[in-house]
Chains A and B, each alone.
Chain A
């Protein structure tokens, strides 16, 4: 496997905040990565560093084997779609799509036109006059039709409705299958994208806390539900991610439950419940420590 991005001990400090803290990871070619984490976890800063829009305080970044900073050879192979992309005053979507081929060698104008039609983007209306979702759709179209070898989507769908988001996922998968490339998708909507991802990187308070294959991550945690005494006895020797208790009942999320553990749980009269990728990440990023933070996490998405 070829690494497209190699990062070692990367740190970005601002006056009193360490936005990215000693991050070491690599991104392999032609995979879809999920860059997940809470608001302010450092996702955007990390992507800005990888695209040469921010400077590292410490550590090294190699993108296509070179430093991305003011490096045209690297940057022309990158498409970075930001949460709130600004466009020149008076620009209309057709201007955006007309200027894109100057930046992206692989730009597919027919694909862009097809997507504009599917996302119902009015080509001739001023971007200032577009709805929030329509502006996001313009970014998504640029990201897809640019077919850059390395594409970043940073929360690309502010204001996009469920239909448009599904359309985005479907077109991304289809086009990725036809034209394999490396995609980094940053999002809060973990449940929506979890099946699209091949690899998951979770950042929390600037640190990389999970860097794992999505399939091996899935199924690493299980919730054990039953009477408090039975659950406590069962989980005593296990790594506990989370616990909930109501009256005499308890629900505890544990890691690494194998077939034997499952059999033992059933024999002890305990119920086992699956834990979704989103739930797992919520557990692992300690979001359960704050009241109702799980709801907040979903609501901000």
Chain B
């Protein structure tokens, strides 16, 4: 947990990461609010707020009396959302830092190709 952003937002992002990474499969049950609270060492009300964020987005859904589950199609929708944010969150800062160092977008492109081919 970092201090710069609300903790409940970070809890929601962690769950999103687990869904995108496949740790939490669609239609599987996610940990309870209290389990999240104990794991991240945060107030249960904060954990609930984070989980509710995902319920509002339709990523998680509640089964009354049983618990919280990952919605069908959640992974695909999260990937689409993250791709939309990719430019703003990763490309823009990368280009800004490159410009500061005098690296042109063309040079950057060559660097990316070279680094990508290593893998």
Chain A, 18-32, CB within 8 A of any chain B CB: 31-32
Question: What is the CA–CA distance of A274 and B6 in the complex, to the nearest angstrom?
Answer: 11
Residues of B within 8 A of A176 (CB): 44
**Digit string of B89-117 for contact with A (CB within 8 Å is 1, else 0)?**
00000000000000000000000000000
A268 to chain B, nearest CB (A): 13
B73 to chain A, nearest CB (A): 29
B32 to chain A, nearest CB (A): 9
Contact status of A170 and B3, CB under 8 A, knowing A177-B34, A215-B8: no
Contact A219 B4 (CB under 8 A): yes
Question: What is the CA–CA distance of A274 and B1 in the complex, to the nearest angstrom?
Answer: 12
Q: Judge whether B80 is part of the interface by a CB distance below 8 angstroms.
A: no
A230 to chain B, nearest CB (A): 15
Q: Judge whether A83 is part of the interface by a CB distance below 8 angstroms.
A: no
Q: Judge whether A113 is part of the interface by a CB distance below 8 angstroms.
A: no
Q: Judge whether A160 is part of the interface by a CB distance below 8 angstroms.
A: no
Contact B41 A170 (CB under 8 A): yes
Q: Judge whether A208 is part of the interface by a CB distance below 8 angstroms.
A: no
Q: Judge whether B43 is part of the interface by a CB distance below 8 angstroms.
A: yes
Question: What is the CA–CA distance of A213 and B2 in the complex, to the nearest angstrom?
Answer: 18
Contact status of A274 and B43, CB under 8 A, knowing A173-B37, A177-B37, A215-B8: no
Contact A215 B3 (CB under 8 A): no
Residues of B within 8 A of A275 (CB): 3
Chain A, 243-301, CB within 8 A of any chain B CB: 273-277
Contact A195 B41 (CB under 8 A): yes
Q: Judge whether A87 is part of the interface by a CB distance below 8 angstroms.
A: no
Instruction: Please give the number of chain A residues whose Cβ is less than 8 angstroms from any Cβ of chain B in the complex.
Output: 22
Residues of A within 8 A of B37 (CB): 173, 177
Contact B6 A215 (CB under 8 A): yes
A289 to chain B, nearest CB (A): 23
Contact B42 A177 (CB under 8 A): no
Q: Judge whether A95 is part of the interface by a CB distance below 8 angstroms.
A: no
Q: Which residue of B lies closest to A274 (CB)?
A: B4
Partner of B5, one of A170, A196, A214, A219: A219
Contact A173 B3 (CB under 8 A): no
Contact status of A274 and B42, CB under 8 A, knowing A173-B37, A177-B34, A177-B37: no
Q: Judge whether A50 is part of the interface by a CB distance below 8 angstroms.
A: no
Contact status of A195 and B38, CB under 8 A, knowing A31-B45, A215-B46: no
Residues of B within 8 A of A174 (CB): 34, 38
Question: What is the CA–CA distance of A176 and B44 in the complex, to the nearest angstrom?
Answer: 9
Q: Judge whether A169 is part of the interface by a CB distance below 8 angstroms.
A: yes
Chain A, 208-246, CB within 8 A of any chain B CB: 214-215, 218-219
B103 to chain A, nearest CB (A): 18
Q: Judge whether A197 is part of the interface by a CB distance below 8 angstroms.
A: yes
Question: What is the CA–CA distance of A214 and B45 in the complex, to the nearest angstrom?
Answer: 11
Residues of A within 8 A of B7 (CB): 195, 215, 218
* Chain A to chain B contacts (Cβ below 8 Å), 24 pairs: A169-B41, A170-B41, A173-B37, A173-B42, A173-B43, A173-B44, A177-B38, A177-B44, A178-B34, A195-B1, A195-B7, A195-B42, A196-B42, A196-B43, A197-B43, A198-B43, A198-B45, A214-B43, A214-B46, A215-B7, A218-B6, A219-B4, A273-B4, A276-B3
- Beyond A173-B43, A214-B43, A215-B6, list 19 extra A-B contacts (CB 8 Å): A169-B41, A170-B38, A173-B38, A174-B38, A177-B34, A177-B37, A195-B1, A195-B40, A195-B42, A196-B43, A214-B46, A215-B7, A215-B46, A215-B49, A218-B6, A218-B7, A274-B2, A276-B3, A277-B3
**What are the nearest 8 A-B pairs in CB distance?**
A274-B4, A177-B34, A276-B3, A195-B42, A274-B3, A198-B43, A198-B45, A177-B44
